[in-house]
């Protein structure tokens, strides 16, 4: 299944869900993909500067790892195509209107947005508003 590409269909079908737990972004200079599996990362990205892992906050604290901010994850449950155009921009624009930072990671099936934990419920509501606005536009057409 290749996922949805139609922008308006994607917006109407957002259905954001909060991921359980709190997460932090940590970086490991000189590390490579697969290193630090003991931290149970939910995402990894190899960068020039090192390996970035998104890990449970508790794991970071257990290991006394430095991090800057604590995030909650939101999964946009619509199965979006990796070739879809505009979804990330629409989500970021919507959250910008609420002054919420959005760290977006695309998985094969869904987009995942990491927002400051103290703004997670507001972010969910903002994304529901975005989806509802798209549904309203479709009904008026």
Q: Tokens for 24?
A: 């932090």
Span 4-12, average pLDDT: 91
DSSP string of 36-57?
TGGG--SEEEEETTEEEEEEEH
Q: Where are the domains of the chain?
A: 1-22+70-141, 23-69
* % of the chain residues with pLDDT over 70: 99
Span 31-49, average pLDDT: 95
| Residue 1 confidence (pLDDT) above 70 | no
Spatial contact of 60 and 24, defined as CB atoms under 8 Å apart: yes
The number of CA neighbours under 13 Å toward the Cβ of 54 is 19
Q: Tokens for 31?
A: 């590390």
pLDDT tens for 64-90 read 999 999 999 999 999 999 999 999 999
Q: How confident is the model at residue 138 (pLDDT cuts 50, 70, 90)?
A: confident
Full-model pTM:
0.92
Question: Domain spanning 1-22+70-141: which superfamily?
Answer: VC0802-like (3.30.2130.10)
pLDDT tens for 95-137 read 999 999 999 999 999 999 999 999 999 999 999 999 998 888 8
């Amino acid at each position: 299944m290749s996922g949805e590409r139609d922008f308006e269909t994607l917006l109407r079908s957002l259905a954001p869900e909060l991921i359980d737990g709190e997460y932090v972004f940590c970086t490991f200079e000189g590390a490579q993909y697969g290193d630090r599996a003991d931290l149970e990362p939910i995402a990894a990205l190899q960068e020039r500067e090192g390996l970035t892992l998104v890990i449970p906050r508790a794991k970071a604290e257990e290991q006394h790892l430095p991090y800057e901010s604590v995030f909650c994850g939101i999964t946009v449950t619509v199965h979006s195509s990796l070739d879809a155009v505009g979804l990330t921009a629409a989500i970021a624009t919507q959250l910008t209107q609420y002054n919420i930072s959005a760290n977006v990671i695309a998985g094969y099936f869904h987009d995942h947005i990491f927002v400051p934990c103290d703004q997670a419920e507001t972010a969910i509501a903002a994304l529901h508003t975005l989806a509802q606005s798209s549904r309203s536009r479709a009904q008026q057409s």
